[in-house]
Amino acid sequence: MNMTLRKGLVVTLSTIVLTWTTLSSAQALNEQELKTLQQLKQVSLSSDLSYELIESLTTEVGNRMMGTPGDEKSVVWAVEKMKSLGFDKVWTEEVTKTQWLRGDAEANIVAPYPQKMVVIALGGSVGTGEQGLQAEVAHFDTLADLKKAKDGSLKGKIAFVSYRMERHIDGHGYGKAVGTRVNGAAIAAQKGASALIMRSVGTDDNRIAHTGIMRYKKEIKKVPAAAISNPDADLLVNQLKRGKPVSVFLKLTSEIQDDVIVKSSNVIGEFTGSKLPEEIVSIGAHLDSWDVGTGALDDGLGIGMVMAAAHHIGQLPKRPKRTLRVILFAAEEVGLLGAKKYVELHKDNMKNHVIGAEWDFGLGPIYKMKTGVGAESLNAMREFAQLIAPLGVALETTNDARAQSDMGALSDAGMPSVNFSPDGSRYFDYHHTENDTLDKINPKDLKQNTAIYTMFAYFAAQADTDFRK
């Protein structure tokens, strides 16, 4: 996931209630449907399908940043998998962008105590040229401190922001840390710096740096931007503490190629509704990843979950009432391009997107659900909350949820939405790093996650409720 996900993820614990004491007398599902839902729960808790899908994607495709061969392979992989999983319809919708090449990255402390650092270019950064650049470091504890510097005051220097992301169950430390990654280079350039080096946005202590998208601003010079690992940021801070000037050599051979257009695709599959086929229940994830690790968590996990959930429902003797659509979005990491394209292409039909949810966060068990649905359908959502409560999920009382990540663009376009929150304490240890690999997935937690998405998708597709009202 990229930075836009974090909106609205701050938990106010007092707003969570574990049980609901009042229920409408009208049930959203009848007895037979409730029985089917419990069967789906058991199937998804015992099935290894979501894990097998992630294993397949990470083993046979690997990482898949838009513009790389991995991304092209992932589109083929997703289409083939959906077909083999029995989806009624499978198609792709093209997404384009200009190319960015990562190139190589190198960063060394040159003085006073020469040492190599582990560094990665931020996504979208310009390069330094093959010759690299060497400059004294100007150290700032936070982005706010960098902002306070006078314009032009950092001429001939590399700005270094050492703010460390905090670890929280809901991942809200990300929102406080990611501003440097997104906007730091533009602010550093405004102050006159020749480059930005930042402590990685991550909660780990591994000598592995975290990448992620960054943005330049019009009319401000584009300067190179890179992240160093947490231990390297500690080292740089410790050298700075000694009070002598600290010089760093930085080389990034990254390249923005505005004249090269690369293509990818949203991959969409659905099980057609038996009674209300025009009404669409959407579950989604993003197909792309950063070009590091194998994209197992971000967002292989979501891909495995939503494809498995739909397949389990597709195995029922009869299709649910509404159409169940799985959307695997292209180009999330590089700017939610697939989501934007989807909304553009489907804007005239957005009113038929009756409810949706995405999975693009984390590797832990889900502990909370938040709704953003029509007031009249709140009772139905409470009924659903009771059905997943035995899996350890609480319902937040507020009803202003935006779906995660890509699907948030559909929420913004009017789609009723649900947002499931997992224990995200460890997610940012691995996020956007070489360490995002299959071994990080806990199969037990994945089964809980898949069961909840399966139950949600079935409930939403079958319930006698209009979530838009």
Interface with a second copy by CB under 8 A: which residues? 55, 58-62, 69, 113-115, 118, 205-208, 230-231, 234-235, 238-239, 242, 293-294, 433-435, 437-440
Give residue for tokens 């029509």.
Answer: 374
Where b means 16+ CB within 10 Å and e means fewer, 6-23 reads: bebbebeeeebeeeeeee
Among residues 116 and 351, whose Cβ is nearest to a second copy? 116
- Among residues 235, 170, 159, the alpha carbon closest in space to that of 198 is found at 159
Find out whether 101 and 212 touch, Cβ atoms under 8 Å.
no
Q: How far is the CB of 68 from a second copy (least distance, A)?
A: 11
CA distance 252 to 235: 21
User: Between 69 and 245, whose beta carbon lies closer to a second copy?
Assistant: 69
Q: Which residues of 196-215 are buried (b: 16+ CB within 10 A; e: fewer)?
A: bbbbbbbbbebebbbbbbbb
Q: What 3-state DSSP class applies to 69?
A: helix
Give the nearer residue to a second copy in terms of CB position, either 86 or 112. Answer: 112
- CA gap 7, 4 in Å, rounded: 6
Distance, CA of 243 to chain centre: 40
Q: CB 34: neighbour CB atoms within 10 A?
A: 16
Say if residues 190 and 218 touch (Cβ distance below 8 Å): no
Nearer of residues 123 and 293 to a second copy, judged by Cβ: 293
Q: Which is nearer to a second copy, 234 or 466 (CB)?
A: 234
Give min distance, CB of 231 to a second copy, in A. 4
Residue nearer to a second copy on the CB measure, 266 or 437: 437
Looking at the Cβ atoms of 8 and 231, the one nearer to a second copy is: 231
Tokens 């009042």 correspond to 22
Question: In the bound complex, what is the minimum distance in angstroms from residue 52's beta carbon to a second copy?
Answer: 11
Cβ distance 444 to 304 under 8 Å? Answer: no
Joined tokens for residue 335:
């700017």
When the beta carbons of 215 and 440 are compared against a second copy, the nearer one is: 440
Is the Cβ of residue 2 or residue 435 nearer to a second copy in the bound state?
435
Gap between the Cα atoms of 336 and 53, Å rounded: 23
Whole-angstrom Cα distance, residue 13 to residue 9?
Answer: 12
Q: How far is the CB of 144 from a second copy (least distance, A)?
A: 25
* Residue 156, both tokens: 């001939």
Q: Least Å distance between CB 66 and a second copy?
A: 18
User: Nearest distance from residue 241's CB to a second copy, in Å?
Assistant: 9
Nearest approach, Cβ of 134 to a second copy (angstroms)? 18
Is there a cis peptide before residue 416, judged by omega within 30 degrees of 0? no
Angle at the Cα of 320 from the Cα atoms of 316 and 325, rounded to 5 degrees: 100
Task: Report the nearest approach of a second copy to the CB of residue 30 (Å).
Answer: 44
Minimum distance from CB of 215 to a second copy (Å)? 28
Asked if 121 and 253 touch (Cβ cutoff 8 Å), the reply is: no
Spatial distance between the Cα atoms of 190 and 150, rounded to a whole number of angstroms: 9
Question: Which residue, 218 or 242, is less far from a second copy as judged by CB?
Answer: 242
**Greatest distance between any 2 Cα atoms in the chain:** 74
Residue closer to a second copy by CB (options 274, 442) is: 442
Closer to a second copy at the Cβ: 120 or 387?
A: 120
355 Cβ partners below 8 Å, 6+ apart?
281, 282, 373, 415, 416, 417, 418, 460, 467
Q: How far is the CB of 363 from a second copy (least distance, A)?
A: 12
- Total H helices, total E strands in the chain: 12, 17
Least distance CB 115 / a second copy (angstroms): 4
**Shortest reach from residue 242's CB to a second copy, in Å:** 8
The span from the CA of 36 to the CA of 274, in Å, is: 16
